[in-house]
Amino acid sequence: MESFFIDSLRDVCISWQTLLERLATPRRYSSLCQSDDAYTIVEHIIVSMLAAEPIVLMDYDMSPEEQRAVLETSGLSIVEKDIQLTRFDSKDNLLAALREASPEWSITLFTSGTTGRPKRVSHSFASITRAVRRGEKHCDDVWGLAYNTTHMAGIQVIMQALVNGNSMVRLFGLSPEQVLSGINRYEVTNLSATPTFYRLLLGQSAVCPTVNRLTSGGEAFDAATLQRLQTIFPNAKITNVYASTEFGALFASEGRDFVVKNGLQHLIRVDDSELLVHKSLLGESMVVDGEWYRTGDVVEVLREEPMTLRFVSRKTDMINVGGYKVNPAEVEDVFRQHDSVRDVRVYAKANSVVGHIVCAEVVRSTHELNESLLRSFLSERLQEFKVPRMIRFVDALSTTRSGKVKRS
């Protein structure tokens, strides 16, 4: 029987037939979707689309207090009602209905901002599926769910899979061994995840030949990770996507450089090295001063025609060391060139002498690697003020809720 959703960790496999039966059952619908079970979330999204009811996705680990505060500040009210959906007699009929989601339907998420409470962003079907590709060549894809399903990147994967009627395999929250064996066991063809997710796989010796498309997004990607990934996924075409909760996926690249497509050219601007996005590309609830939304991403314009960009850093990521600006992503890239560095986080620590100093946590593959060896390696490749003054060795890096590496 054709699988719709597989959760190898929970030993759950839902077929399309089972999904059709479950959807036909009357239920109590709540617009608040908060669960630690990926399948429950996916089904909740489908029900909301078919019922043309709003859905609000919230992280499961948010405390009731945080949840109350977030709902209050966003002015959202939660709707509850009994519903009975029309019965669909085939997968094709269900897919056709999903592809024609009501213009009334909306999905609300919260950005994992680095300061203050999470911000609300609501999207329509049109804006949440802007980057979705549909067609014959996608109908046999099997998607690995490597992102948190209540966040933008996860929703993009779910939408891509739903619109094309693909199977989904849950891969987040698993150990690296489980991820790779899940990919091989269920013959996953498409993977979209953060560089951090991929880096955790690098220590493994498994090879996953079924993956033909691998997408990365979230943080800046580095060349060393790319190269090592290609060994694990020899048949994968590797793409980097620029996306955010505010506007979804905007453009993709095959290397480090992004070419802005013709249709988007007039909606993208660069001002003082910062990327600006026109408000027409944003989710509907976004409030913008004027016509343009400042992304906070620092880019370098490599060419004007066609417009080609390279992401340099996040504006807020820059560490100010006594007036010198240090880009943590750049320092991390150099760390990763060392064979015994498995993962690294470069961050700022407030300092009474120079304002901030650069610090790093490192996951090493051998205990022979020590601070002074690393330091001399870095000193040969970086300006002195960029070399972290404190290097700590840890078993795992601290990450934020969405799986991005924390900066401070």
Least distance from another protein to the Cβ atom of residue 379, Å = 8
User: Tokens 């630690």 identify what position?
Assistant: 36
Least distance from another protein to the Cβ atom of residue 357, Å = 5
Least distance from another protein to the Cβ atom of residue 287, Å = 40
Least distance from another protein to the Cβ atom of residue 322, Å = 6
Least distance from another protein to the Cβ atom of residue 214, Å = 39
99 vs 375 by CB, closer to another protein: 375
Closest CA to 200 of 179, 221, 182, 220: 179
Q: Are 340 and 368 contacting, i.e. CB atoms less than 8 angstroms apart?
A: yes
352 vs 366 by CB, closer to another protein: 352
Least distance from another protein to the Cβ atom of residue 391, Å = 10
Contacts with another protein by CB under 8 A lie at 321-322, 349, 351-354, 357, 359, 372, 375, 384-385, 389-390
270 vs 394 by CB, closer to another protein: 394
117 vs 392 by CB, closer to another protein: 392
- What angle, 0 to 180 degrees and rounded to 10, lies between the N-to-C axes of helices 38-51 and 16-24? 60
Least distance from another protein to the Cβ atom of residue 355, Å = 9
In angstroms, what CA-CA distances link 384 with 38, 209, 241, 375? Answer: 46, 42, 32, 10
126 vs 350 by CB, closer to another protein: 350
179 vs 321 by CB, closer to another protein: 321
65 vs 384 by CB, closer to another protein: 384
Structure tokens at 343: 């993962």
